Amino acid sequence: MIPRSVKTFAPATISNLGPGFDVLGVAVHAPGDFVLASRQKERGLSFSVKTDQTHVPQDPERNVAAYVAQLMLRELKPSFGVQMILQKSMPIGSGLGSSAASSVAAAMAVNELLPKPLKKSKLLRFALEGELFACGSLHADNAAPSLFGGGCLIRSYDPLDVVPITIDSSLVWIVVHPHVVVLTKKARAILPRSIPLCSAVRQWGNVAGLVLGLARGDRDLIKRSVEDVIMEPARARLIPGFDDVKRAALKAGALGCSISGSGPSVFSIAPSMRAARIISTAMTTSFRRAAGVSSDVFISRTNLCGANVVWRKDA
Ligand code: HSE
């Protein structure tokens, strides 16, 4: 039976993972965005947002979740319209894949209401259009892990080729979100347009090393490979206290530390839950001492299921 209403959830993601700009990402359990959607008789979309944040666009023409939903309705032409509420709990401009989570949760919700829902793999295209709308670029390293869960390698963009990567279950992700905003558009505009061959060689060595290290749970290989010699140096100055926070994380036992997505969140990899708590305290303390910035902490194992339907109510 086709549900009348659904509630979906799409999780936050850590993209790039240090060296893998636009090609590596992983889903975590929290935070994330929720979408409530119901069928309505009138075609088209009725849209509203529930949030504590002030800067989330309420206008459906400017909100990424509404944009994705409208795109799907226009293309798939169901015989009904959709009433949608975005429950936006993720901070925008945080480096946690906020726009991707909204896009993915909206795509999942519209899809569930269709008489013949598409496979998850067919939804990625709509979420990517959302990324283009929100950030000005078609990067998939947030949307893919948010949708599918686990770790993802975007092996190619043309054609799009998303490959799941294994992440050893002992590893724990820490994301510290300082209370400053960095918009992805801006953080992409300052990136180098060309890179020296020696930096490229170092970077792709690190990407390969990290993928292997994560799969094997090889702590030393992870330690050597979470190194971004291209994007991090350009973006670090957008994050107050970044160098101190990174130093503090590594000193406290992190296997690696770098910028989460386009920042300002900073992620670390910990070898255990206990270590994660110690490292996260070192990071938040350092943000406060070095930059006078307060922050939120998210500690999570890898989220293996990605976006999901929280509940459905049948007609
Ligand atoms: N890979 C993208 C970037 C992620 O670094 O710009 C944006 O969250």
Domain hosting residue 36, numbered range: 3-165+303-314
Q: Are residues 124 and 183 in the same domain?
A: no
Q: Are residues 211 and 288 in the same domain?
A: yes
Residue 1 has pLDDT above 80, yes or no: no
Q: Are residues 186 and 287 in the same domain?
A: yes
Residue 182: which CATH number?
A: 3.30.70.890
Residue 315 has pLDDT above 70, yes or no: no
112 is known as an active-site residue: no
| Chain segment 217-272, per-residue pLDDT in tens | 999 999 999 999 999 999 999 999 999 999 999 999 999 999 999 999 999 999 99
184 is known as an active-site residue: yes
Q: Are residues 268 and 206 in the same domain?
A: yes
Backbone angles phi, psi at 31, to 5 degrees: -80, -165
Q: What confidence score (pLDDT) does residue 55 get?
A: 87
Q: Are residues 180 and 236 in the same domain?
A: yes
How far is residue 99's CA from residue 123's CA, in Å, rounded to a whole number? 15
Q: What's the 91 CA to ligand 1 centre distance in angstroms?
A: 15
Q: How many CB atoms lie within 10 A of CB 193?
A: 4
| Chain segment 40-63, per-residue pLDDT in tens | 999 999 999 999 988 899 999 999
For the Cβ of 146 lying below 6 angstroms from any atom of ligand 1, the answer is no
Q: How many CB atoms lie within 10 A of CB 168?
A: 15
Q: Are residues 160 and 182 in the same domain?
A: no
Q: Which atom of ligand 1 is nearest to the CA of 187?
A: 6
Q: Are residues 88 and 70 in the same domain?
A: yes
Q: Are residues 28 and 137 in the same domain?
A: yes
pTM above 0.85, yes or no: yes
Cis? peptide before 31, omega within 30° of 0: yes
Q: What's the 200 CA to ligand 1 centre distance in angstroms?
A: 18
Q: Are residues 240 and 105 in the same domain?
A: no
Q: Are residues 74 and 128 in the same domain?
A: yes
The residue contributing the CA closest to ligand 1 atom 6 is: 262
- Tokens representing 198 are 């020696």
Q: Are residues 153 and 10 in the same domain?
A: yes
Q: What confidence score (pLDDT) does residue 202 get?
A: 98
How far is residue 224's CA from residue 269's CA, in Å, rounded to a whole number? 12
Domain count along the chain: 2
From 13, 14, 16, give the residue whose CB has the most ligand 1 atoms within 8 Å, as the site to mutate: 16
Q: What confidence score (pLDDT) does residue 273 get?
A: 98
Residue 46: which CATH number?
A: 3.30.230.10
For the Cβ of 16 lying below 6 angstroms from any atom of ligand 1, the answer is yes
For the Cβ of 11 lying below 6 angstroms from any atom of ligand 1, the answer is no
